[in-house]
Amino acid sequence: MEVWNIIYSELIKKFDSSLNNAILDKIKFKEIQNDEVIVLVAPDPLTSGWFVDNYLEIAKRICRNIFQKEYQFSVEVAYSESSYNNVSYFSKKRVEKQSIPSFLNPKYTFERFVVGPNNDFAHAAAIQVATNPAKSYNPLFIYGNPALGKTHLLQATAHKIIREKSHLSVFYTTSENFTNEFIEAIRNSETSKFRKKYRSFDVLIIDDIQFLQKKESTLEELFHTFNELFHDRKQLIFACDRPAKSLSMIEDRLRTRFDSGLSVKIEAPDYETRKAILLQRSAEEKVYIPQEVIEYIATNIENDVRLLEGSLTKIIAYSSLKKKEVSLEIAKEILKDKIRVEVPKNISVNDIQKAVSKYFNISLQDLKSERRLENIAYARQIAMFLAKQYTNHSLKELGILFGGKSHSTVLRSSEKIEQLMKTRKRTKKEVEEIISMFYSLQDEKNKEKVLKDN
């Protein structure tokens, strides 16, 4: 109990807000199993999911810093007959808990993994490995940018093997935990015990391999562990934020082993997949989310599945705690620090032209001219897109304000930038940065008005 009290106090200090306090207060300490696993109890899946998504890694870090110990956490859900405000769940009866290893997140299953064009190959490969460990793709190496679902896929594979092939021993860990355990084993003269542990599994899964770069002793140990397990026809699965060939600080002999099986990439989800993720999560929580809220989140959070899901969880939690229905207004308020897409009222075409000219370091005269140099034409297209989006002028009026262009030119320019924003990160970033400039322009206008009035 004392251990949890210290962790709780540190979390409250770090997340000092009424919303976080209200959620942490719902988490209750149950026990510490085998001096390794801190077992907590949440009143409902929403609170459990919020803790896992927002506090779990911080809590583990607190344990390392204060207790110098690698505690694992297990969050049980105590179902009750009462609903959680306006949320009703699939089952309100107390159910028998399935035995899940503490190193796995119970939410990271194939059933909860939303498949789209961005991840269908990786998903199919993971399913195949889970169905036939060490017979299909060995090793399986999954790579992609952070927060796109690699950990989910790795743990889903572990869940499926444990559930369907209980005779096999499965272990999932991160490269950080692998390193810390190895250092501890050296310190305590227990390297043989460490090797016996890691070379005894039928399926070994290691996440975030990139963090092993420059850790020569740990890499040497992993190399020999890999060789022994592979020789014994055991399944190896790795995840990384880049392809194996880009791990420049890891020796060729290990890099080539990572690439010797199947290497698959996970991309950022497209718009439809993002909507599907949000719809599935809302269905799991049995909470009605208006379509406009789903579209708002999916449109503005593109490259981070964790943030996408976390944003929805935060909106649902806020709505539930405040006893309000989920609405677009609530979504905008909750996510205002993560999403800034609104522009000041009464923004003019002239304001937009000034901001774009300043951003791309071209003159207003060039922006409105017929010049077709690539950088000028591109800036002009962005300005037309913004003017069409954020002013009430007709296409014909906008054409006149841009130096006598036709309405079809304005329309084509706007449509081109709209498409580029969906496919090119640079364009989306440029548009967002220009929009942020509108606020300083508005502030300057307000100051001028105050001076004039005085």
Burial 87-123 (b: 16+ CB within 10 A, else e): bebeeeeeeeeeeebebbbbbbbbeebbbbebbebbb
Please report, as a single letter, which amino acid is at residue 314: K
345 vs 373: CA distance, rounded Å: 32
Which helix (DSSP H) or strand (DSSP E) does residue 195 occupy? helix 191-198
Which helix (DSSP H) or strand (DSSP E) does residue 220 occupy? helix 216-231
- From first to last of its 454 residues, the chain has per-residue pLDDT tens of 688 989 988 888 877 665 567 778 888 898 888 888 898 988 876 677 778 877 888 888 899 888 888 888 888 876 433 333 333 222 223 333 445 677 889 889 999 999 999 999 999 999 999 999 999 899 999 999 998 999 999 999 999 999 999 899 999 999 999 999 999 999 999 999 999 999 999 999 999 999 999 899 999 999 999 999 999 999 999 999 999 999 988 999 999 999 999 999 999 999 889 999 999 998 888 888 998 899 889 888 888 899 999 999 999 998 888 888 899 989 988 887 676 445 555 688 999 999 999 999 999 999 999 988 999 999 999 999 999 888 888 889 999 999 999 999 999 999 899 888 878 888 988 888 888 777 666 556 554 554 555 4
Residues 404 and 326 in one domain: no
418 vs 416: CA distance, rounded Å: 5
How many domains are contained in the chain?
Answer: 4
Give 386-391's long-range contacts (Cβ < 8 A, gap of 24+). Answer: 386/352, 386/356, 386/431, 386/434, 386/435, 387/349, 387/352, 387/353, 388/414, 389/414, 390/343, 390/347, 390/352, 391/347, 391/348, 391/349, 391/352
Residues 232 and 128 in one domain: yes
Q: What angle do helix axes 191-198 and 216-231 make, rounded to 10 degrees? A: 40
- Contact 54/13 with Cβ under 8 angstroms? no
Model pLDDT, residue 136: 84
Residues 285 and 417 in one domain: no
Residues 157 and 195 in one domain: yes
Residues 127 and 258 in one domain: yes
Residue 284 maps to which CATH number? 1.10.8.60
- From the number of C-beta atoms within 10 Å of its C-beta (0-12, 13-18, 19+), residue 190 rates as middle
425 vs 417: CA distance, rounded Å: 12
The separation between the first and the last C-alpha atoms of the chain, rounded to the nearest angstrom, is: 63
Residues 256 and 119 in one domain: yes
159 vs 174: CA distance, rounded Å: 16
Residue 405 maps to which CATH number? 1.10.1750.10
Q: Which of 297, 311, 384 is nearest to 349 (CA)?
A: 384
The answer as to whether 92 is a domain residue is no
The answer as to whether 94 is a domain residue is no
Query: Of 77, 97, 128, which residue sits at a domain end?
Result: 77
Residue 204 maps to which CATH number? 3.40.50.300
Residue with tokens 């009143």: 43
Q: Which tokens sit at 105? A: 């997140």
Residues 309 and 390 in one domain: no
Q: How many CB atoms lie under 10 A from the CB of residue 282?
A: 19
Residues 354 and 443 in one domain: yes
Residues 230 and 302 in one domain: no
Burial 11-44 (b: 16+ CB within 10 A, else e): beeeeeeeebeebbebbebeeeeeeeebbbbbbb
Residues 33 and 72 in one domain: yes
Q: Which of 85, 71, 150, 88 is nearest to 113 (CA)?
A: 150
Residues 168 and 201 in one domain: yes
Q: Could you check whether the bond before residue 139 is cis, i.e. omega within 30 degrees of 0?
A: yes
The answer as to whether 370 is a domain residue is yes
The 8-class DSSP code of residue 110 comes to G
Model pLDDT, residue 79: 45
Query: Of 283, 307, 334, which residue sits at a domain end?
Result: 334
* DSSP string over 358-410: HHHT--HHHHHS----HHHHHHHHHHHHHHHHHS---HHHHHHHTTS--HHHH
The answer as to whether 100 is a domain residue is no
The answer as to whether 414 is a domain residue is yes
Model pLDDT, residue 163: 92
Query: Of 237, 265, 293, which residue sits at a domain end?
Result: 265
Enclosing domain of residue 284:
271-334
454 vs 432: CA distance, rounded Å: 34
Q: Is the pTM of this model over 0.75?
A: no
Residues 222 and 142 in one domain: yes
Please report, as a single letter, which amino acid is at residue 250: I
Residue 31 maps to which CATH number? 3.30.300.180
